[in-house]
Structure 1
Amino acid sequence: MNEMINRRKLLQAGGALIVTFSLPMARAATPAAEKTLSPARVDGFLAVAHDGTVTVYSGKVDLGTGVRTALTQIVADELDVPMNQVTIIEGDTALTPDQGTTSGSFSIQNGGMQLRRAAATARRALLRRAAAQMDRDISTLLIRNGVVTAAGGEGLPIGSLVEPTALALDIEKDAPQKAPGDYTVVGKPVRRLDIPDKVDGRFTFMQDFTVPGMLHGRVVRPSGFGATLVSYDESSIADIPGIVKIVRISNFLGVLAKSEWSAIKAAEQLKVTWSSWSDLPDQSKIWEHVRNTPVVHDDVTSRLGSSRAVLGAAPRKLRSTYDFAIHTHGSIGPSCAVATFTDGKLTCWTASQATHDLRKQLAAMLALSDADVRCVYVEGAGCYGRNGHEDAAADAALLARAAGTPVRVQWMRADEHGWDPKGPPTLLDMRAGVDPQGNLAAWESELFVPDGSATFVPLTGAELAGLNSLGKLSPGGVLNDLSIPYDIPNVTTTAHRLQSTPLRPAWIRSPGRLQNTFANESFLDEIAASIGADPLDIRLQHLEDARGKELLERLAKLSKWRERREPDRNAEVVTGRGLAYVKYELVRTYVGAVADVEINRKTGALAVKRFYVAHDCGQIINPDGLRNQIEGCVVQTVSRILKEEVTFDRSMVTSLDWASYPILTFPEIPEIVIDLIDRPQEVPWGGGEPTCAVVPSAIAGAVFEATGVRLRSVPFTPRKVLAVLRAS
């Protein structure tokens, strides 16, 4: 096999071959010497070719959210080149700067603004070069459609200004950026660049990605999370054609075959003996287990006034507890990766949302230097936080090293549901005190969540193999939005950080923000009901933030909140409306939502019929893409709130398919009405997560209006709804 030719084909297939640099191709895992990876340099992010095309190197990746289109808009507008002349390379550790994990709705807010500053610096550099060549004052020159144009009509294409060091510049923080009024594509509803190929079936997802000569691998999972491998019978798969190898590394057991079907059959048929293990808690007593888990330390996330004293003296006290079940990511396309290990160097094609971090983890697992590992991003079919893609990459890397040839690992549904990391169980105790005048005087909350905020989640394959992957307990930013956005004179919010949690945790869409906002907003509704206040009015009364107030007023107008009718609670099918608000993490995107629901009082069936959303994330880059994000937040979170809960026995997860872990179906999707508040003069914030946070409490508030009962335990299944109705 001609290594040079085949490695070039591999890079072309992975989207890593670029036209603006001459890259050494003989080592797929070797970074190009001519290409800086510095996030402080223009050429870390951008390259301009002689034909005027622009290549963008983005450490932030598109997880199916449309970020690629928005980033293209940002660069095209700031450099003033047509969008079709801009190409983005994402998440290739040999070519793109490390901009951190693609998470937390920071791709535009942080990653996009880095690109904007780099493009603004490049724009000024190109104008300076053109001014020198044309002997003109720089202030008389403009760039339009990729051409530097002088007042008299003379023009120079930007590609003609490019030399090897033209963009080898430090990014200038003060490089003048376009005024919002001068943007031509930013702020416009540009159709997503990825959708046509996805609709036509031409798009290459990670699950579709192949390389020549690869084998297919499957990992045989233990019978329990802590079970150890006792023995296996190789002869039990002797009748399956194309079996190449069985790989055992401690408790990691994998099979390699020439075809995927043979690998699947071998993993199913291989006779394996595992030790017994049953140390998971009894799920029926999960909240008792959470309360009894040792507390490592407490984090007081806000303290104002003397909440304990005021609460103790208050003539009216309210107290409620909210719980939020363990959720899996439930990616509809199970995780996948391809890896090759040659001459002591690893290349891994992966849908990881954090290729630069994964590179470090794979290097640690295989005892390699970071420089000997290259991770190349290929978009996966589904990612809602840190799901199983990194773990599939570890599986592929271990098997590729053992095989000495490229290996593709495609997880099955049971792998994804059973072995991806989970959103941890979350418990919140809420207390409030109302003074003699009926004013909300004191607020306290206590959150029970796992400790840890590590960058790296342990890789399952590494754990089974007894190898280091740098991972620690890492449930995500679960303290965010425990503090409240409202002006209350006496407040204390405390998080009890727990020593452990039943299942391996990781961040799942809107981690912590979703659970904490559910409790905060639902409890505020309870307080409003106790003092006879409208849910909208109590929020406006306790808000000092002008943008927040404006958003709520626009939401009220959008949903006709003040025109709603008193529901008939005696009908078999009752309807109600609920309202919720968040200022995400108290520092960015504002979202308000109203939910319209129907509840069948006989069956407990709950349907969300309509969602109204008012959304303010500052400057909007792509209104169409932002609407996609908001709609996705609503649909997925309605699914999580109405249906989703991981089940497990004392050994492992038992909700291993869509029957045991149901999600929302198309007929159940609500109508979604959106009011986008564009603020072109403000910084852009994110839209990928914030709307999630207001969904559960809006639904819960609507159920209360319809029935007079409170739902405090997610998910709101018919069984739970009936139980609460019968107890009322």
Structure 2
Amino acid sequence: MSHADDDFNEGRRRFMASGALFVTFSLFPGARALGQQVIADEGAAVHISKETQALAGSLKTNPFLDAWIKIDPAGKVTVYTGKVELGTGVRTALLQIAAEQLDMAPALITFLTADTSASPDEGLTAGSHTIADSGTALLNAAAQVRGLLVDAAAKSLHVERGKLTTRDAVIHAPDGRTVTYGDAVGLVDLHRMASPVSPLKDPKTFFVIGQSLPRVDIPAKVTGGASYVQDMSLPNMVHARIVLPPVYEAKLLRDNAAQVMSMPGVLKVYRNGSVLAVVARGEWQAVAAQRALSAGSEWSAGRTLPDPATVHRDLGTLCTQHLEIADTHAQDGAPAAVKTLNARYSKRYMLHGSIGPSCAIASFDDGHMTVWTHSQGVYPLRDALAEMLSMPKDAVRCIHVEGSGCYGHNGADDVAAHAALIARDMPGHPVRVQWMREQEHSWDHFTPAMVAQARASLDATGRIVDWDYALWSSSHNERIVNAGRLVPATMLASPFKPAPSVPMVQPEGGGDRNAIPLYTFPNLHVMNHFSPTMPLHTSAMRSLGAHLNLFSIESFMDELALAAHADPVAFRLKHMQDPRARDVIRLAAQKFGWPRPPRKPNHGVGFAFGKYKNLMAYVAMAVEVSVVRETGQVVLERAEVAVDAGQIVNPDGIRNQIEGGVVQSASWTLYEQLQFDTQRIRSFDWSSYPILRFSAVPHSLNVHLLDRPGAPFLGAAEAAMGPTAGALANALFDATGYRARDMPLAGDGLRGHIDA
């Protein structure tokens, strides 16, 4: 086995980490007797018993301490999380949190992420929940484990626990005697439920939390090492490629399997209903055979796609569920309105544009299926694969391996289903499946087209006295909750039916995420018009509806400020009571040099604010853009971003995420839109779906952090997406005098409006 193979032998590595002390258990054998609360975690049902409601973070759903931390007699410490690394740096930050409360150098800890045979079940890694939920759980679990070990050592040494100190898995007594964590763990049972109260360290003593620890996932990525599931190579592995239908609901009528079987290296042509694939010894042999198989396949007509010219209008008909999510009125009435504004905003369908096409490896041996996947939810995927394969859940194991270009609900789960179906027919051969670029684009779970309508009135003093907002959208969350949510499972000879589409509930929200402004208005009314049917496959992409909603809200705030003859920043502060929001607004303005520094022709400045989901990190930013009027090109020249994410774990990690979010949102907001017609998806490569190039990244992008030691962690990974869109729209208006309300903002559409 090669060195790369050894790096990815997760089964062996995890077994050695836990060794003979590994314990399997059912968390809630009597859950029904205890009574349960069920909450939504972007598609995964999470059960919280009455007994665990008071616990911190994901301890509510995984309350046993040894689900998070195991210590062997030699003192080796292994820490687990049910969350996964998606390139956001959370593996490093979570390691820092555990190391801090265990009083250990991070390098001494073996840290393992999501694996259905080893890790706690934390549902999905999504919605900027990882640090808030898993980080909070680890903070408390590690503190409680340390406390239990110190208590055990105190009894063993006959010393008051307050006189003992800990450092690097060793407990020290004042007289020089020591007890290792390995010795102490033999005196205490860690298979116990967590307590609502933890012996947390004073933030003033932190030596790991708050430091920019170098990310543990970066070295292999920048040196060409094996880093992703796409890099994996297992003994006796074969390669498969899929032939997908040209359009939704098309049925496979005939294929040329006999011809393809004669091609070099081809081992098998797999067909089950309309699921069609070829397996070969080598990857290029599989690619060549897939092209031949695709060319020789005949499909039925399939379903007609919507007319892109009418998708926004059609939402008015498709949205059949009308949900009032906010309705507040001033008890004493509000001052009379003297001016009322109305505005309509929209965004088009967009795709994830994952740089690395989705990939998975599956191996079927002795009745057990193992899948290496970059899915964001290994437990929901495990359950759906078991249903699709008619196998017991405990016979299916899903191990997370980071994917190249994975975020949101792209093809990761679907390609894992393809790999599992083929592997079941080829026992003893790990089957590697990677989608082709055109499949990744055409069969993506797109982010939905949306429309928002805003109306607000000002009184004589320039204060907003009423706010009415409505949005129209199909589902932002078709995550895997049953086998029917897996694309290949719907194409089998005996197909599975997808679970119905349902709206996500507030305060998290789906299409209505961040639709309720954080600003204070005496009268507020917000409606979510939800479509349970989807003209195109849609699901989760970073920030869900917050991208459009904050774009709309922050654009409208600027329009209202102009109508009130007020400075946009002062106007926001006038309507903002949350002190932490006021702090980030002031900080961003100060760092930018607001109000409105002198600037060159065709340059504009803009401001925006958002608190992600009104639950997570606060972000405010001031930006400067330049506009090339002849082409409609818009460049984000400069951004000054202020962030309050509570207690900061890794400052550089948060800056990475905010910087990446600003760049990605700039690409979405200015340029990205899915190309399609009534026959086909037409965005099948990078020329038909252009994204922001390196030449267009911001010339200056500075992130300013407000640290709040001891405060709860607030998720920051997706927090910049909405504010960036709003700030760009406002800066574009400042530069051109044209108020763009329909994304994407730049390009030919902008040029036409400027010329007009």
Shift of 1:90: 0.8
Distance 1:164-1:713 versus aligned 2 partners, 3 A rule: farther
2:489 maps to: 462
Summarize the Cα distance change of 1:15–1:692 in structure 2 as closer, same or farther, 3 Å threshold.
farther
TM-score, normalised relative to structure 1: 0.93
Contact 2:469 2:525 in 1 (8 A): yes
Q: Deviations over 1:325-361 (max 9, x none)?
A: 1111111011100011233321100011100110011
2:261–2:267 contact (8 Å) kept in structure 1: no
Match of 1:425 among 449, 456, 459: 449
Q: Secondary structure at the match of 2:286?
A: helix
1:542 aligns with 2:565: no
| In structure 2, distance between residues paired with 1:536 and 1:67 | 33
Q: Give the match for residue 613 of structure 1.
A: 641
The one-letter amino acid paired with 2:633 is: A
The residue number in structure 2 matching 1:284 is 309
Which residue is 2:73 aligned to? 50
| Contact 1:359/1:373, CA 8 A, preserved across alignment | yes
> Where does 1:76-155 land on structure 2 (aligned, <5 Å)?
76-155=99-178
Q: Distance in 2 between matches of 1:619 and 1:12?
A: 32
The one-letter code of the counterpart of 2:307 is D
Which string of whole-angstrom CA distances, capped at 9 and with x for unpartnered residues, describes residues 432-488 of structure 1? 122344432211111001157565261111111143376443787221110011111
1:525 counterpart = 2:558: yes
Do 1:21 and 1:35's aligned partners in 2 also have CA atoms closer than 8 Å?
no
Q: 1:446 and 2:470 equivalent?
A: yes
What SS is found at the alignment partner of 1:594?
A: strand
Tell me the distance in 1 between the aligned counterparts of 2:308 and 2:655: 38
In 2, distance between residues paired with 1:620 and 1:499? 39
Match of 1:646 in 2: 674
* Alignment partner, residue 27 of structure 1: none
- The CA distance in 2 between the partners of 1:407 and 1:97, in whole Å, is 27
| Corresponding residue of 1:201 | 224
TM-score, normalising length: structure 2: 0.90
1:318 CA displacement: 1.1
1:709 lines up with 2:738 in the alignment: yes
Among 517, 527, 531, the residue aligned to 1:498: 531
Structure 1 partner of 2:458: 434
Aligned mate of 1:509, from 542, 545, 550: 542
User: Does structure 1 conserve the Cα–Cα contact (< 8 Å) formed by 2:363 and 2:420?
Assistant: yes
Q: Which moved more, 1:342-351 or 1:478-487?
A: 342-351
Residue of structure 2 aligned with 1:665, choices 681, 689, 693: 693
The counterpart of 1:600, out of the listed 628, 642, 655, is 628
Separation in structure 2 between the aligned mates of residue 672 and residue 9 of structure 1, nearest angstrom: 36
Which letter does structure 2 place at the counterpart of 1:684? F
Cα offsets for 1:509-566 (capped at 9, x unmatched): 010111111111111111111121111011000001111111111111111012513x
Q: What's the CA shift for 1:701?
A: 0.4
- Quote how far apart the aligned CAs of 1:170 are: 1.7
The answer to whether the Cα contact below 8 Å between 1:352 and 1:390 also exists between their aligned partners in 2 is yes
Q: Do structure 1's residue 634 and structure 2's residue 662 form an aligned pair?
A: yes
Q: Is the 8 A contact 1:620 1:678 kept in 2?
A: yes
Cα distance change, pair 539–12 in 1 and its aligned pair in 2 (3 A)? closer
Show CA shifts across 1:412-431 (max 9, x none): 11111111211111111111
**2:430 matches 1:406:** yes
Aligned partner of residue 241 in structure 2, secondary structure:
strand
2:539 alignment partner AA: A
Q: For 2:11 and 2:742, locate their aligned partners in 1 and report how far apart those are by CA, in whole Å.
A: 47
Percentage of pairs with the same residue = 36
Unaligned runs of 5+ in 2: 29-61, 505-509
The verdict on how the C-alpha distance between 1:275 and 1:681 changes in structure 2, with shifts beyond 3 A counting, is same
> Which residue of 2 is the match for residue 28 of structure 1?
none
Looking at structure 1, the residues matched to 110 and 26 of structure 2 have their Cα atoms a distance apart, in angstroms, of 18
Tell me what 1:274 maps to: 299
Identify if the C-alpha distance between structure 1 residues 51 and 81 changes in structure 2 by more than 3 Å, giving closer, same or farther. farther
CA contact (8 A) 1:487 1:543 kept: yes
1:481-505 C-alpha deviation (Å, 9 max, x unpaired):
1001111111111011113222111
Structure 1 partner of 2:88? 65
Per-residue deviation, 1:676 = 0.3
Paired with 2:550 and 2:160, the residues of 1 have a C-alpha distance of 55
Are residues 1:367 and 2:395 paired? no
Q: Give 1:576 shift.
A: 0.6
Which residue, out of 183, 204, 207, partners 1:160? 183
Partner of residue 265, structure 1: 288
1:14 Cα deviation after fit? 7.3
Structure 2 vs 1, CA of residues 401 and 705 (structure 1 numbering), >3 Å: closer, same or farther? same
Q: Kindly tell me the number of residue pairs found equivalent between the two proteins.
A: 706
The whole-number CA distance in structure 1 between the counterparts of 2:463 and 2:137 is: 46
CA displacement at 1:9 relative to structure 2: 10
State the shift of 1:269 in Å: 0.7
C-alpha distance 563-448 of structure 1, shift in aligned 2 (>3 A): closer
| Structure 2 partner of 1:330 | 353
Is the aligned partner of 1:656 residue 2:684? yes
Describe the superposition over 1:103-161 as per-residue Cα deviations: whole angstroms up to 9, x where unpaired: 11111100011111111111011101111221111121111222101122322222222
1:237 aligns with 260
Residue type at the aligned position of 1:494: M
Mapped to 2, the partners of 1:497 and 1:128 lie a distance apart of 54
Report the 3-state secondary structure (helix = DSSP H, G, I; strand = E; otherwise coil) of the residue aligned with 1:592. strand
Partner of 2:597: 564
Cα separation, partners in 2 of 1:532 and 1:600, compared to 1, 3 Å: same
| Residue identity matched to 1:281 | P
Aligned counterpart in structure 2 of residue 354 of structure 1, from 361, 377, 398? 377
Cα distance in 2, alignment partners of residues 101 and 454 from structure 1: 13
Map residues 478-489 of structure 1 onto 2, 5 A cutoff: 478-489=511-522
CA drift of 1:189 comes to: 1.3
- Please give the alpha-carbon distance, in whole angstroms, between the structure 1 residues aligned to 2:131 and 2:375: 18
Cα distance in 2 for partners of 1:623, 1:253 equals 47
Partner of 1:20, secondary structure, is helix
Counterparts of 1:721 and 1:83 in 2: how far apart (Å)? 51
Residue 304 of structure 1, CA deviation = 1.4
CA 1:86–1:475: 2 relative to 1, 3 Å:
farther
Aligned to 2:585: 552
Query: Does the Cα contact within 8 Å between 2:503 and 2:530 map onto a contact in 1?
Result: no
- Give the secondary structure class of the aligned counterpart of 1:713: coil
Equivalent residue in structure 1 for 2:752, among 719, 723, 727: 723
Q: How has the CA–CA distance of structure 1 residues 310 and 10 changed in structure 2, closer, same or farther, with 3 Å as cutoff?
A: closer
2:615 alignment counterpart:
587
Distance 1:563 1:419 in 2: 45
**Per the alignment, in what secondary structure is the counterpart of residue 309 of structure 2?**
helix
Q: Relative to 1, partners in 2 of residues 1:712 and 1:15: Cα closer, same or farther, differing over 3 Å?
A: farther
Q: CA deviation at 1:165?
A: 6.0
Stretches of structure 1 that go unaligned for 5 or more consecutive residues are 2-6, 24-31
Q: 1:343 to 1:296 in 2, by over 3 A?
A: farther
CA distance in 1, matches of 2:71, 2:469: 54
What do residues 21-72 of structure 1 show as CA deviations (whole Å, max 9, x unaligned)?
A: 228xxxxxxxx65567682111111112334331111101111111111111
SS at match of 1:507: coil
Deviations 1:142-186 (A, max 9, x none): 112221011223222222223396422221221211110111110
SS in 1 for 2:558: helix
RMSD of aligned Cα (Å)? 2.3
- 8 Å CA contact 1:456–1:472 kept in 2: the answer is no
Q: Which secondary structure does the structure 1 equivalent of 2:620 belong to?
A: strand
Distance 1:396 1:622, change over 3 A: same
The whole-number CA distance in structure 1 between the counterparts of 2:587 and 2:149 is: 44
Q: Please identify, of 433-442 and 525-534, the stretch whose mean Cα deviation from structure 2 is larger.
A: 433-442
SS in 1 for 2:135: helix
